[in-house]
C-alpha cells in the first residue's frame, strides 16, 4: 500500500443535549498547532505534533498491531518518535518536503497533528489519537468539526492515489483505548486482508474519508446494491464495493481476538496459536458469523 501524509489541523467536539434546540455544550476543542496539546490524548503509532516540544514517546504494550502511549497526556513531537516509529527521514511540516535537511519542527502556532509521515517508500504507516477525557452519555448526541489535509501520495496515479484515508470514530467509553485494522479499515473495522485483522473493540460508529476506496468495500456486496463496482473483500462481510474518493459510515462492531475469546471462550480457546487466532478473526470478519481458523461456522446457544 502507498502512503499519504495525513494531518489534522483542528478538531472540536460538541455535545448536543436534547432537546435539539438546546445550545450545544463544548466537550473539547483542540487546534494541534502549538508545541503542546491542551487536552489529554492517548497516542498511537505515528501520531505526533509537527510543532511539538514534548519528548514523550510511544511504547509497546505487547499488542502486535499497534503501540500506544503509556497513558493519556501529551502527544509526542514528530522529532521525538523518529527512532521509535518512523525510522527514516521525516517529511517537512508545512511544505511537505522530504530529504536529509529537515524543516521540522514547525513554528509554534503553525503546526498540525500528523498521523503518517508520507516519505517515499513509507508504506503501511498509521497513527491515531483517542480522547483521554471523561466519556459522555450515548444519548447526548454530538456535533464534530475537524479539518484534514493530505499530501504526497506516491502511487503515481489519479483516483486512488496513495492510501488509505482517515476516519473519525466513537467507541464504548468503558473499553480501553484501542484501534482497528489498517488499510481500508481505516483503524476502525476488522480486516479480511491486513493481519492481525482485529477491528476496534467497542466500536460504535465511524465516518471514513476514504481516498483509496476500500472503507466501504466488503467480502460481499450489500443486498440490493446495484453499483458497478465488484467487491474485492478488503474489510468486513459486506459493503458497496471499491471506489476511491468517497465518504462513508460504518456501524458498531467488536470483531477482534480478545473480544471473541472473552465472549465465547469455549469456541475461541486461548490455546490456539497466534496464526490460528488471526485466521479465526479474518474468517469471522469476512463472513459476518462466528468461524474458526478453518472457516467452519461455529454454533453458540443454538445459533451461529
* Best CA proximity match to 255, nearest among 239, 235, 274: 235
* Best CA proximity match to 127, nearest among 57, 44, 51, 199: 44
112 vs 185: CA distance, rounded Å: 24
Find the mean pLDDT for residues 108-114. 90
Instruction: Specify whether the CB–CB gap between 291 and 297 falls below 8 A.
Output: yes
Q: Identify the residue whose cell numbers are 486512488.
A: 160
Average pLDDT, the chain: 80
Condensed to tens digits (0 to 9), the pLDDT of residues 17-64 reads 344 444 556 677 888 999 999 999 998 888 899 898 776 555 544 444
* Best CA proximity match to 14, nearest among 4, 5, 24: 24
pLDDT reported for residue 226:
72
Q: What 3-state class would DSSP assign to 45?
A: strand
* Best CA proximity match to 107, nearest among 93, 119, 89: 93
Identify any residues that bridge with 250 across adjacent strands, giving them in sequence order: 206
H helix or E strand, kind and range, residue 246: strand 246-250
Half-sphere exposure of residue 185: CA atoms within 13 angstroms, side-chain side: 33
What's the residue count for the chain? 304
Condensed to tens digits (0 to 9), the pLDDT of residues 214-242 reads 999 998 888 888 776 666 778 899 999 88
For the whole model, what pTM was predicted?
0.85
Find the mean pLDDT for residues 133-146. 79
pLDDT reported for residue 294:
97
Find the mean pLDDT for residues 129-138. 83
Find the mean pLDDT for residues 199-212. 92
* Best CA proximity match to 99, nearest among 117, 73, 112: 117
pLDDT reported for residue 248:
94
How far does CA 151 lie from the centroid of its chain?
18
Q: Residues 6 or more apart from 154 whose CB is under 8 A from it?
A: 2, 3, 4, 118, 120, 121, 162
80 vs 102: CA distance, rounded Å: 13
Q: What are phi and psi for residue 281, nearest 5 degrees?
A: -65, -45
Find the mean pLDDT for residues 165-170. 91
Amino acid at each position: 500500500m502507498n502512503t499519504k501524509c495525513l494531518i489534522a489541523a483542528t478538531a472540536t467536539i460538541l455535545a448536543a443535549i436534547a432537546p435539539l434546540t438546546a445550545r450545544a455544550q463544548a466537550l473539547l476543542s483542540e487546534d494541534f498547532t502549538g508545541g503542546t496539546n491542551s487536552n489529554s490524548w492517548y497516542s498511537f503509532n505515528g501520531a505526533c505534533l509537527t510543532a511539538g516540544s514534548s519528548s514523550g514517546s510511544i511504547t509497546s504494550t505487547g499488542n502486535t498491531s499497534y503501540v500506544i502511549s503509556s497513558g493519556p497526556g501529551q502527544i509526542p513531537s514528530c522529532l521525538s518518535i523518529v527512532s521509535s516509529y518512523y525510522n527514516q527521514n521525516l517529511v517537512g511540516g508545512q511544505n511537505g518536503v522530504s530529504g536529509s535537511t529537515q524543516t521540522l519542527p514547525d513554528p509554534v502556532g503553525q503546526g498540525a497533528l500528523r498521523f503518517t509521515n508520507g516519505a517515499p517508500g513509507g508504506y503501511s504507516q498509521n497513527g491515531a489519537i483517542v480522547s483521554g477525557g471523561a466519556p459522555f452519555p450515548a444519548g447526548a448526541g454530538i456535533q464534530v468539526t475537524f479539518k484534514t489535509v493530505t499530501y504526497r501520495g506516491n502511487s503515481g496515479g489519479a483516483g486512488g492515489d496513495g492510501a488509505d484515508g482517515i476516519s473519525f470514530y466513537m467507541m464504548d467509553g468503558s473499553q480501553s483505548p484501542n484501534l482497528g485494522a489498517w488499510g481500508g479499515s481505516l483503524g476502525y473495522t476488522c480486516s479480511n486482508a491486513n493481519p492481525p485483522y482485529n477491528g476496534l473493540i467497542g466500536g460504535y460508529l465511524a465516518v471514513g474519508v476514504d481516498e483509496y476506496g476500500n472503507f466501504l468495500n466488503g467480502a460481499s456486496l450489500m443486498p440490493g446494491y446495484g453499483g458497478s463496482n465488484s467487491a474485492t473483500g478488503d474489510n468486513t462481510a459486506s459493503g458497496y464495493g471499491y471506489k476511491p474518493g468517497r465518504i462513508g459510515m460504518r456501524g458498531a462492531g467488536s470483531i477482534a481476538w480478545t473480544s471473541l475469546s472473552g465472549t465465547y471462550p469455549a469456541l475461541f480457546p486461548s490455546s490456539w496459536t497466534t496464526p490460528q487466532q488471526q485466521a479465526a478473526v479474518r474468517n469471522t470478519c469476512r463472513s459476518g458469523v462466528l468461524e474458526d481458523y478453518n472457516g467452519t461456522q461455529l454454533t453458540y446457544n443454538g445459533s451461529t
